[in-house]
Structure 1
Amino acid sequence: MIDNGVLIKQGAEARIYIAPFLTRKAIVKERFSKSYRHPILDKKLTARRVTQEARCLYKCRRSGLDTPVVYFVDTENSTIYMEYVEGKTVKDILQEQSDDDEETSRLKNEEIANNIGIALANMHAADVIHGDLTTSNLLCRDLTGSLVVIDFGLSYVSILPEDKAVDLYVLERTFTSTHPNSETMFAPILEIYTKKYKDSGPVISKLEEVRLRGRKRSMVG
């Protein structure tokens, strides 16, 4: 339990709180232990995972990607204190577009797609794989409109084009399944990504293979 913290989300790996940190409002991510693992091994693995997430956040910010600022990493208690970002998820923005006229929606989607493409290019240029790229993990800041990538709980570092292609495929599937009226946004995202990431060629080639495997799995069920 986090002192003075308010639980806002609990997943399979961690609890997310809003809590004060010094003079700031912060997001606190607390990873919990796995009862099926030996306690000593579990503590080592959990601490390693916390450290890895913090390092990936740092690498991304250094590469120019907007991510929450990490305030404090407490490996002993498996927690990360980070910036609370005021904003809306891309998922919420797209779902609220039913109230917009067609031209307003088009302009919003163009801007969002451009920002996502640039963000993914910066992230993959730093060889960071997000691991859970969905529109719920992409925020638009209220004040600046900057796109913020959040929740690096499954992130890791890899130079392999296939790992980066899987990242892209997960996002593509999100648009197809969650935002059927906005699924055409993925093509311009890829276009911007390809322009901004100089080593994107092998990734795009691998994306076709990943798509094919995904279609085969869908057919088999």
Structure 2
Amino acid sequence: MGLDACGLVLAAKIGACESMGMSFDACGLVLAGEIDACGSMESMLEDFDSFESWCCGLSIMEIKTDVKESSLILLKQGAEARVFESNFVGKRSVIKERFSKKYRHPTLDSKITLKRLNAEARCMTKARRLGVSTPVLYSVDPVLHTLTFEYVDGPSVKDILLEFGSHGIIEEQLDDIALQIGDAIGKLHDGGLIHGDLTTSNMLLKSGTNQLVLIDFGLSFTSTLPEDKAVDLYVLERALLSMHSSCGNVMDRVLAAYQKSSKQWSSTLNKLAQVRQRGRKRTMVG
């Protein structure tokens, strides 16, 4: 698909591309869920220098807005970003805003923030291409440093497992969740993508279908090293042990599914054993 065919809407603040009177030949967009993947967008995001040059040109443009600040509902705030519920072209959506760091020089801060924004968008689109369910990316705003994507209606895996811990485990549902987690991670890793923050808070089950959806690719990066894949799994293992120990050894079920999903599971799990040993030594030393 060509770039002009994809078009661009910036941060849900432009009602129609035509109103800007320009050809969007620098970056594509997945628009309003009608297009699940846009190859030109991913290619553009891969070339950060082109993306950055295009973004610099945007700073002198007058961007019309059609979304009032009052329409944004704060869902979550972390050290790096704020997450809002909003509306995008009539669809319920989420806006993730990466805010500036006051201790950094403004020019450096903008460049770093833009690079991280680009990386997150790139990893999210790559995950979908690998067959992993993620929110559909609607727009990238390099001026306001925001990503706008699909709102996924459904509980987090964290909430479900905590419910199991309080009121008893539903074995069939737990098996299904573990199977989907292991399968998704296997697809990511075989595709050379590391999530970087595999916690049960970053996994949702879509209402109606119970399909697992991975979110928050803010720490994601590309790597084919077994070490990086093993650390990715270890982060999940520690999260399960610390938050959901009452659900039994969920990680064993996840790893069983991971072995079926990943063709490179052997080297990764061998490295995971080494990572576990290092983790135990740190715990003992303090």
Q: TM-score normalized by structure 1?
A: 0.95
* Aligned equivalents of 2:131, 2:253: Cα separation in 1: 20
Find 2:267's aligned residue among 202, 208, 211: 202
Q: Tell me the equivalent position of 2:148.
A: 81
1:10, distance to aligned residue in structure 2 (A): 0.5
Which one-letter code corresponds to 2:172 in the other structure? L
Equivalence map 1:1-221=2 (5 Å): 3=69, 4-98=71-165, 100=167, 105-221=170-286
The answer to whether the 8 Å contact 1:132/1:170 transfers is yes
Aligned partners of 1:68 and 1:148 also within 8 Å: yes
Higher alpha-carbon Rg: 2
Counterpart code for 2:159: D
CA contact (8 A) 1:2 1:17 kept: no
Q: 1:13-53 CA deviation, whole Å, 9 max, x = no partner?
A: 00000011111111100001111211111101100100100
2: CA distance between counterparts of 1:209 and 1:113?
23
Please give the per-residue CA displacement for 1:41-68, whole angstroms capped at 9, x wherever unaligned: 1101100100100110111001110000
* One-letter identity of the residue aligned with 2:92: K
1:185 offset after TM fit, Å? 1.2
| Partners of 2:243 and 2:167 in 1: CA distance | 18
What RMSD in Å do the two structures reach over aligned CA positions?
1.5
Q: Alpha-carbon deviations, 1:166-210, whole Å to 9, x = none?
A: 110010001111001124111121111011110121111110111
Asked if structure 1 preserves the Cα contact closer than 8 Å seen for 2:164 and 2:247, the reply is no
Q: Separation in 2 of the partners of 1:157 and 1:55?
A: 10
Checking the alignment, whether the CA contact within 8 Å between 1:53 and 1:155 is kept in structure 2 is yes
Q: Where does structure 1 lack aligned partners over 5 or more consecutive residues?
A: none
- Confirm or deny: 8 A CA contact 1:175 1:183 kept in the other structure: no
Structure with more of its chain in strand, by fraction:
1
Question: Which aligned runs of 4 or more in structure 1 are off by greater than 4 angstroms?
Answer: 98-102
Gaps of 5+ in 2: 1-66
For 1:170 and 1:217, locate their aligned partners in 2 and report how far apart those are by CA, in whole Å. Answer: 14
TM-score normalised per structure 2? 0.74
